Chains A and B, each alone.
Chain A
Amino acid sequence: MAKTSGLAQQIYIHGSDLSGDVGAISNAGSPRPLLDVTPINKSAMERINGLSDGEISFTAYFNDASLMAHPVLSALPTTDVIITWLLGGSVGDVAAGLVAKQVNYDPSRGADGSLVITVQNLGAAGTPLEWLRTLSAGKITHSSASSSTGVDDSGSSSKGIVGYLQVVDIDSGTPTVIIQESSDNGVGDSWATILAFSAVANGAEPTAERKVATGSVERYLRITTTGSFSNLDMVVAYERGTAQDDVDLG
C-alpha cells in the first residue's frame, strides 16, 4: 500500500469488461449533502448529513464490437447496472462498486476526428458508492469448481460484508460463486460459507450481482466456485462493514 498512479485499471459494467474501451473515469464519488439544522439560539451553523449518493461516470471510445462499449452502453437499460471499477489487477487492490442507473450515452465527435462517449451512472439501490478490495486478481478464470487462495485481512470483523460479482463469460454449465471465511486460512480451521451469489447459467452472462451478509466475518476470505461448469471468467470484490458505513451492513 503506497502512492500509486492510475495506470492499468479495469472497469466492468454488469459483467461486460469495458476496460479496453473506457479512456477516463471522470467522477467516482459518494456525495453527502449537508442539511442545515441551525436553531435560533446558535451563532454558527449546525449541519447534519443528508442522504448519501453514488456516482461513477466515465468517457468511453466508440467500439461497436460484440459486448463492447457501443452495444453495452447504447442499450441504456432501465434496470439497475452493477459497476465495479478496479484500481489494480492484483488481489487486495482497491475497487469501487455501485448499483446504478445509467443516465445517458452521449457521443461527441471532435474537430480533430475523435469520437468519445460520456456516460453517467447514478446510485439507484439505496446504497452509496462503496470502496472495496478485490478478492480476485482482476478478472480470473475458474476452469471448473475450485477455490482461490485465501486472503489475509489481518483480523476478523463484526459488521457484515458486501460482495460484488461480475460474471464475464461461461463456456458451459451453471457455476455458483461463494465467499468463504476461516480464522487461519483453512489450516486447522475449516472454511465456512458466508455469502453465496446466485447461480448463473451459461448464456445468462454477462451479468453481475451485489450481495450482503450480516454478522461476524473471520480473518481470511476466499472465492470458491461450485456446480458443474467450464471456464467461468469473473471478478469478485468485497468490503467488510464498519461502524462508519452510511448504510449498515449489520
Chain B
Amino acid sequence: MAGRKQVVPDGSYVVANPRGLPKGIPIISWQDKEWFEGDEFAVPSGLSNLKFLVAGGYISEVRNG
C-alpha cells in the first residue's frame, strides 16, 4: 500500500504521520491490516476508535475543494 499514488475522494480519510516516523513504518494496524502514511483509510467495519485516530492526527479527512 505504501508509496502508491491514489485518487482519494472528498470525505474519505488519508493516513498521516503525526509522530514523524520513518518511511515504511505502519502508522495504524488492526487485525491483519496495516496502513502506511499516505494510504487511503477506508474505515473498516467494526473499528471503534475513529475519533481517536482523527484527534491524534493519525488520519485526516480529505477536502479537495
B-contacting residues of A (Cβ < 8 Å)? 147, 176, 178, 180, 182-184, 186, 188-196, 198-199, 213, 216, 218, 224, 226-227
Contact = CB atoms under 8 A, between A and B. Distances in A.
Contacts of A182: 49
- Count chain B CB atoms within 10 A of each CB in A180, A189, A218, A227 and give the residue with the most: A189
A216 B4 CA distance: 30
A144 B12 CA distance: 33
Interface string B44-60: 00111100110010100
B26 A190 contact: no
Contacts of B24: 176, 226-227
B25 A189 contact: no
A224 B52 contact: no
Interface of B: 19, 21-22, 24-31, 46-49, 52-53, 56, 58
Contact of A193 (B21, B30, B48): B21
A178 B28 CA distance: 12
Nearest to A199: B22
Contacts of B52: 183, 189, 192, 218
Given A188-B48, A188-B49, A226 B26 contact: yes
Contacts of B47: 188-190
Contacts of A189: 30, 47-49, 52
Contacts of A196: 21-22, 25
B52 to A, nearest CB: 7
Contacts of A186: 29-31
Pick the most buried of B29, B48, B53: most chain A CB atoms within 10 A of its CB.
B29
A192 B48 contact: no
Contact of A226 (B25, B31, B46, B53): B25
A224 to B, nearest CB: 7
Given A147-B29, A183-B49, A192 B21 contact: no
